[in-house]
Amino acid sequence: MERTLTWRDLNRALLARQMLLQRVSLDVPEVLQRMGGLQAQYAPSMYIGLWARIEDFDRDGLTRMLERREVIQATLLRATIHLVSKADYWPFEVGVRSARREAYLRAVRDRPEPDAIDDAVVRLRALLSERPVRRTELDELFGPRIRHAIGMFLDMVRVPPSGTWARRRADLFGAAEDWVGPPDVTEDDAQDLLIRRYLGAFGPAHRTEIADWAGLPVSVVAKVLARHELRTFRDERGRELVDVPDGPLPDPETPAPVRFLPTYDATLLVHARRTLILPEEHRSKVFHVRMPQSIGTFLVDGQVAGTWALKANRVEWDEFAPLPARIRRQVDAEADRLTAFHG
C-alpha cells in the first residue's frame, strides 16, 4: 500500500532538497543542479537565493562564474529567465524548446509572418557571431514584435556584465552555441534529465506540477515518467505523487531555521503548493496583479511568515502575524546577515 505523505512531510522534503534546512558547502553549479535551476528575472534574486543555501557564499564569485561561462543565464522554463549550470543549459533548453515555441504560436495572434521571423533569425545569428547585442539594438533593427519572436526561435543567453549584481538589467544577448558550445543532447534525453532535476529538487510531486514548472504538456511529462523507475506516494487528497528513488524524506518534525528568500523563489510558485511553504491565506500578499515583481519573504518553521525589503541600506521585515520574542530574535539575526551580504 502506498504511503500517504502529509503536507508537513512534503514541506520538509522540499526544504531539504532546496538546501533550506541547512546551508551547504558545495560549488554553485552543483547547487543549481540540486535546486532545479534558479529563477532570475531580477538579477539580485539569484545571488540572494544562493546566499540562502550556500555557506559563506561569495557574491562576486557568482559574477566571475557567469563571466567564465561556468553558469548560464537564459530564458528557459516558462519563457522565464533562469540561472543554470553550464552542463544543464542544453538539456533545459532542448527539453522545453518545442513546447515553448508551440505555446508562443498558440498565444500570440498578431505574431510576425514566418518568413519575417526566419529572415530576422538569420540576420541576428550573423550579427551575434561577431559580438553580443543589446535589447535596445534588437528593437532598433527588428522592432519589439519580431525581437520577441526571435527569442522563441534562436537560442540565446544573457551575457555578463548584464544580469549581474552590479548591472542588473539582463539585456545583453549572445548566441547560445557561441557562448556554451553546440547542443549535445536529444529532446528525449533532455526531458529525462529535466524531470529528474525537478523531482530531485521539488519532489515528491504530481505530474501536473512537473508540467507547470517546466512549461511542458502533461502528456509529455507522463511519457517521460513512464521511462523511469520511480517510487510513488499519495498526498492527503489521494493524488498520486512520484519521486526519484533516493530523494530525501526527512522526519516531518525536523526543525526548520529562519531563512530569507528572494523575489520569485521557485519554492513559492504554484507548482509547490502541496508543501504549504506559502500558506494560501498569505499568497496574495506575495503575488498579486498590482505587484507583479513579487516581494522578498522569510520562512519560520518552514512557512512564509512575513516579507522583507531593503530600506536605507538595511533589511527591514514585516510579520504576517505576531511572532514570539525568541523567533523575532532569530529573524533579526538573519536580517542582519542579509544586510551585511548586501554590503
Tell me what pLDDT residue 113 has: 86
Task: Please enumerate in sequence order all residues whose Cβ is within 8 A of that of 37, keeping only pairs 6 or more positions apart, or say none.
Answer: 76, 77, 82, 83, 84, 88, 92, 197, 266
pLDDT along the chain (343 residues), means of 10: 94 98 98 97 96 97 98 95 98 95 84 88 95 95 90 94 94 97 97 98 97 96 96 96 97 98 94 95 83 83 97 95 98 98 92
Cβ distance 101 to 85 under 8 Å?
Answer: no
Tell me what pLDDT residue 294 has: 72
Tell me what pLDDT residue 112 has: 86
Tell me what pLDDT residue 319 has: 97
What cell does 91 get? 538539456
Which residue shows C-alpha cell 511568515?
Answer: 305
How many other CB atoms sit within 10 Å of the CB of residue 266?
21
Tell me what pLDDT residue 177 has: 97
Identity of the amino acid at 255: P
Tell me what pLDDT residue 184 has: 93
pTM listed for this prediction: 0.95
